[in-house]
Amino acid sequence: MLQISQLEIPPGSRVRLHQVTWQQYKKVLADLGNHRGTKIAYDNGNLNIMAPLSRHEDDKEIVGDLLKALMEELQLEFRALGSTTFERQTDLKAIEPDQCFYIQNEKVIRGKHRIDLNIDPPPDLVLEIDAITRTHIKTYAAIGVPEIWQFSASGLTMHQLQSGHYTDLEESPLFPSLPLKEVIPYCLQQSRKLGRNTVLRDFRVWVRKAL
């Protein structure tokens, strides 16, 4: 029988498996292990295993750093949980975001080493850098993520969960009155020319002036 460990997934590609039971999905997750360079998404029998490109990972880190700097300047407590696996077995859904943050619910999960969506809230904000695959919007809606930021070649789109569906936003309710939809992609682009630290310093100065 073919073992998941035998699969080779080149960066920038993905493997799709169909008619996968929840028990089989859990076994695949265990076989992949914790120290891996892939991401998974499971939706009612359909399992995607994705291998991000280095560009994808670089963009993810820069955007995550910008958001951390923003929340530090705003003196907001937060927890960044990276690509934590979020599961809801009752809906047969599982997802690993590129990056995620607990902000409003930071205190609720503070000190916890494992998130259980049966008792814990989902992250307040999810980032998806869609270099190789589209965001699994229905999965995020099923687990109740309030806000998603999705980056693509065309820029940044923000989505807010309302009545079980996502609607587009012009500004984030988490950071009102800040034109982050334009500023974050600009900073990301500039980081490729000027370097990470230079852009982060300039971004912090911009936030202080904007406040």
Strand arrangement of the beta sheet that strand 147-152 belongs to? 79-80, 99-102, 125-129, 147-152, 155-162, 165-169
Q: Over the stretch 155-190, which tens digit does the pLDDT of each residue have?
A: 899 999 999 999 999 999 999 999 999 999 999 999
Q: Are 171 and 181 in contact (CB under 8 A)?
A: yes
Residue ranges of the domains in the chain? 53-210
Question: pTM score > 0.75 for this model?
Answer: yes
Place of tokens 């599961």: 87
Range 53-210 classified under CATH 3.30.1370 = no
**Per-residue model confidence (pLDDT) at position 6:** 60
**Per-residue model confidence (pLDDT) at position 31:** 87
- Among 101, 93, 138, residue whose Cα is nearest residue 122: 101
Q: Over the stretch 91-146, which tens digit does the pLDDT of each residue have?
A: 999 999 999 999 999 999 999 999 999 999 999 999 999 755 567 899 999 999 99
Q: Over the stretch 40-73, which tens digit does the pLDDT of each residue have?
A: 999 999 999 988 888 889 999 999 999 999 999 9
Q: What is the DSSP string of 84-99?
A: --EEEGGGTEEE--SE
